[in-house]
Amino acid sequence: MDTVIAVDNLRRSYDGAPAVRDVTFSVAKGEIFGILGPNGAGKTTTVESLQGLRSRDGGVVEVLGIDPARHPDRLRRRIGAQLQSAALPDRLRVGEAVSFFARLQQRPVDVARTLDDWDLTGLRRRAFATLSGGQRQRLFLALGLLGEPEVVFLDELTAALDPSARRATWELVRRVRDRGATVVLVTHFMEEAQALCDRVAIIHDGRIVALDTPAALTARSGGDVRVTFTANGQSLDFLGQLPTVTSVTIGDHLITVTGPPTSPVHVAAALADRGIVPADFRTHHPTLEDVFLGITGRSLIREVST
């Protein structure tokens, strides 16, 4: 696949304190590439360096074959961005925002079609201040894609959204990729990275500590898979005798069985052999949080909230 972003030993410090340390990665055309980590890990500094918005102390960076530090204007004509601090004047109407930004593009923009494509037609007369979080993100994405950019940078796109609006925004991100753009998604939400990203770079203390597909990262974590279900008083002593089961915990209502990745199949088969078919049988695989915890010894959830 074509490489659209190449980063080699990117470095950046502030007042002598390293923020990004020898970061190296590449992004292929058509990927949704995630940069995951706690606040202050170096995610935003890295992405702003890729856009030419922040200088670098060292390393080589190319986006679409362009060095952002040397030719930022050339690059900006080919990329789109929704930044962490994106905002518009409170009284600016949706239609006015799209029309204004459309006039700044190098090529003609069909404003009516843009509003329709992003389900904004019914909101065109609404002021920015009256929009919900999800509606604002729809507008930001529409504005970021006005010039049909080849690469789109999304920084903490869903940080201020409730779970329902967050999932709706995920569908918009997929639409961005489906329209032909490569997406770089900065987030501290592990579920978001697992749901959207083809590959993920986990950053901690300015360094990439893991980089692969979400499935490969979690598979390498070595964590047990958990199976949970309710059993309504049936005897389950036989589960502890299964060769793939590490432990069985029987609570007041919930049964938890742990073991390697193959254990859910054996547990389900053993239950079915005895006529036990729980309606709430669930398998819980290791997450990117487990990967982060295994690598750093620290919880990403705690890092983000503190």
Domains by residue range for the chain, with CATH: 3-213 (3.40.50.300), 224-285 (3.30.70.980)
**Buried-exposed string 135-154: b where 16+ CB fall within 10 A, e elsewhere:** bbbbbbbbbbbbbebbbbbb
- Which pLDDT tens digits describe the chain residue by residue (306 residues)? 599 999 999 999 999 899 999 999 999 999 999 999 888 889 989 999 999 999 999 999 999 999 999 999 999 889 988 755 567 899 999 999 999 999 988 788 899 999 998 889 999 999 999 998 888 888 988 888 887 899 999 988 887 778 888 888 888 889 889 988 999 999 888 889 989 999 999 999 999 999 999 988 887 776 789 999 998 777 888 999 999 999 999 887 889 999 988 899 999 999 999 999 999 999 988 888 888 887 777 666 655 554
Alpha-carbon dihedral angle through residues 191, 192, 194, 199, given to the nearest 10 degrees = -150
List C-alpha distances in Å: 200 to 8, 11, 163, 187, 298: 17, 20, 21, 10, 18
The helix/strand/coil state of 14 is: strand
Residues 6 or more apart from 274 whose CB is under 8 A from it?
A: 234, 238
Sheet with strand 17-28: strands edge to edge: 17-28, 3-14, 58-63
pTM of the model: 0.80
The Cα-based distances of 238 to 171, 225, 229, 234 in angstroms read 44, 19, 15, 11
